[in-house]
């Protein structure tokens, strides 16, 4: 009897133990399923970090300006008599561009020239007569003074007459004409702009710390929005002799060849100056960097298997970016998998699923072409 009861008690213990184990296993599976639903893998795009050549550079923005450029005007008033240029013409130095009505000035010049010629004849006659003591030395001296005065008046009138003619002060390209035939011009009215376009300057500012890295003759690369797919090269030709006390920046000027005259004064431009020697450093796309108040960080993917893994935060130290890429001094080793898209929902330990089917190419010097 006791033996039968013992067997029954053991059977019940096994049964209850089995039921308890099954319940525990069931709860564990439910918790695991709920956890998987609460923290599903996040789809991200990645790249493998690798060493690449990296050229350090200084970057700035500047404005193009002509070697010679002026808005042409006359210093006297008058009515436009002739216009001898068309908008956009290329002209040579000294070429006549415009004349004002100068009839009165021409007549006055002829009158003064006649007076000067008469004084010259009188002087010559008196110089012959003084040989025979027919006139005094005082008369000859007076004749000389009268002739010099008449000649000075002639030169003055010629100068006034020339002021009514506009000539190109240097070779270059004209802008759009701003006056018409018969128009009355006040003194100083702008007639047309003249710009010398080849070569052309670019002026920009650099922080005073950059003085140790730049020199006269150093190459620069310039990009303008008008030609986004092209880069223009030139050399530094001047460094200002003082630092701006307000900004602590120094003005720098570079000279560019502009034979096709595509670069125009006033254009906004981006300037890049290569400094130092190229280095081999770890580079990643700029989109891999996450900025926050604690510093820059990236997400690395660990335990990568079958396109899935675990995200891990890593703080990094970077250099100034170039184009779509950035060099990393600390925080990433070559061969590590770096998340470049889909970081918004990630945190330390987040499961991730990798999808690199639509990863854009990241270049240090991208060429952007308008379509």
Q: How many domains does the chain have?
A: 2
Same domain for 287 and 350, yes or no, is yes
Mean pLDDT for all residues in the chain: 85
Of the given ranges (27-36, 119-128, 247-256), which has the lowest mean pLDDT? 27-36
In the prediction, which pLDDT does 111 show? 92
Within a domain: 294? yes
* 145 vs 122: CA distance, rounded Å: 12
- Decide which of 163, 179, 211 is a domain's last residue: 163
> Which among 204, 203, 199 is positioned nearest to 257, based on CA atoms?
199
Quick check: 184 pLDDT over 90? yes
Tokens, residue 108: 């006055």
Tokens, residue 161: 């007459």
Q: Tell me: the pLDDT tens digits for 313-362?
A: 989 898 888 878 888 988 888 988 999 988 888 888 889 888 888 766 65
In the prediction, which pLDDT does 170 show? 92
- pLDDT tier for residue 368 given thresholds of 50, 70 and 90: very low
Phi then psi for residue 169, to 5 deg, are -75, -20
Q: Tell me: the pLDDT tens digits for 120-137?
A: 998 888 788 878 777 788
In the prediction, which pLDDT does 206 show? 94
In the prediction, which pLDDT does 5 show? 60
Quick check: 36 pLDDT over 50? no
Within a domain: 258? no
Quick check: 6 pLDDT over 80? no
Quick check: 32 pLDDT over 90? no
Q: Tell me: the pLDDT tens digits for 39-77?
A: 688 888 889 988 888 888 888 999 999 999 999 999 999
DSSP H helix total and E strand total for the chain: 3, 22
In the prediction, which pLDDT does 369 show? 42
Within a domain: 133? yes
What residues contact 103, with CB distance under 8 A and at least 6 apart? none
Within a domain: 124? yes
What residues contact 170, with CB distance under 8 A and at least 6 apart? 68, 93, 194, 196
* 49 vs 65: CA distance, rounded Å: 42
Strand (E) or helix (H) holding 202:
strand 190-207
In the prediction, which pLDDT does 38 show? 54
Within a domain: 246? no
Of the given ranges (28-37, 139-148, 237-246), which has the lowest mean pLDDT? 28-37
* 119 vs 184: CA distance, rounded Å: 38
* 222 vs 236: CA distance, rounded Å: 12
Quick check: 371 pLDDT over 50? no
Within a domain: 197? no
Q: Tell me: the pLDDT tens digits for 188-236?
A: 999 999 999 999 999 999 999 999 889 999 999 999 998 988 899 999 9
Contacts 24+ apart (CB under 8 A), 156-161: 157/105, 157/108, 157/109, 157/112, 158/109, 160/76, 160/105, 161/102, 161/105, 161/106, 161/109
Quick check: 19 pLDDT over 80? no
Query: How large is the average pLDDT for residues 262-285?
Result: 89
In the prediction, which pLDDT does 55 show? 83
Of the given ranges (19-33, 221-235, 272-286, 308-322), which has the lowest mean pLDDT? 19-33
What residues contact 169, with CB distance under 8 A and at least 6 apart? 68, 70, 72, 93, 194
Within a domain: 329? yes
Helical residues (DSSP H) of the chain, grouped into ranges = 2-38, 103-129, 137-162
* 24 vs 32: CA distance, rounded Å: 12
**Among all chains, which residue has been given the structure tokens 């006139």?**
135
> Which among 305, 314, 317, 289 is positioned nearest to 352, based on CA atoms?
305
Q: Tell me: the pLDDT tens digits for 149-179?
A: 989 999 998 988 888 999 999 999 999 999 9
In the prediction, which pLDDT does 324 show? 83
Q: What is the pTM of this model?
A: 0.66
Domain that holds residue 124: 102-163
- Decide which of 163, 178, 202 is a domain's last residue: 163
CATH of the domain at 158: 1.10.287
b or e along 203-222 (b: 16 or more beta carbons within 10 Å of the residue's beta carbon)? bbbbeeebeeebeeebebbb
Q: Are 355 and 341 a contacting pair, CB within 8 Å?
A: no
- The residue ranking higher by pLDDT, 36 or 59, is 59
Within a domain: 170? no
For 183-200, the DSSP string reads -EE-TT-EEEEEEEEEEE
CATH of the domain at 339: 2.40.420.20
């Amino acid at each position: 009897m006791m033996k039968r009861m013992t067997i029954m008690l053991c059977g019940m213990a096994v049964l209850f133990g089995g039921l308890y184990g099954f319940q525990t296993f069931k709860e564990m599976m439910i918790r695991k399923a709920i956890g998987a639903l609460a923290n599903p893998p996040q789809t991200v795009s990645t790249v493998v970090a690798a060493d690449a050549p990296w050229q350090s550079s200084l970057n700035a923005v500047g404005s193009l300006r002509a070697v010679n450029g002026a808005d042409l005007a006359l210093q006297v008033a008058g009515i436009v008599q002739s216009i001898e240029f068309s908008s956009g013409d290329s002209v040579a130095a000294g070429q006549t561009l415009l004349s004002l009505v100068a009839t009165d000035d021409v007549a006055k010049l002829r009158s003064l020239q006649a007076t000067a010629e008469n004084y010259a004849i009188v002087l010559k006659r008196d110089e012959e007569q003084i040989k025979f003591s027919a006139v005094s030395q005082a008369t000859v001296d007076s004749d000389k003074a009268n002739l010099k005065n008449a000649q000075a008046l002639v030169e003055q009138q010629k100068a006034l007459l020339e002021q009514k003619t506009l000539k190109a002060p240097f070779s270059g390209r004209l802008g759009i004409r701003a006056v018409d035939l018969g128009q009355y011009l006040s003194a100083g009215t702008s007639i047309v702009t003249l710009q010398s376009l080849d070569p052309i300057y670019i002026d920009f500012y650099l922080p005073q710390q950059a003085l140790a890295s730049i020199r006269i003759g150093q190459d620069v690369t310039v990009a303008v929005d008008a030609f986004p797919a092209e880069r223009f090269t030139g050399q530094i030709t001047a460094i200002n002799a003082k630092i701006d006390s307000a900004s602590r920046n120094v003005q720098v000027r570079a000279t560019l060849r502009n034979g096709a005259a595509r670069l125009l004064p006033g254009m906004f431009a981006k300037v890049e100056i290569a400094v130092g020697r190229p280095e081999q450093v770890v580079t990643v796309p700029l989109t891999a960097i996450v900025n926050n108040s604690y510093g820059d960080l990236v997400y690395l993917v660990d335990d990568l298997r079958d396109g899935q893994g675990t995200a891990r935060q890593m703080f990094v130290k970077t250099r100034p970016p170039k184009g779509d890429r950035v060099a990393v001094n600390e925080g990433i080793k070559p061969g590590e998998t770096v998340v470049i898209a889909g970081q918004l929902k990630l945190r330390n330990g987040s499961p991730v699923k990798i999808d690199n089917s639509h990863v854009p190419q990241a270049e240090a010097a991208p060429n952007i072409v308008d379509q």
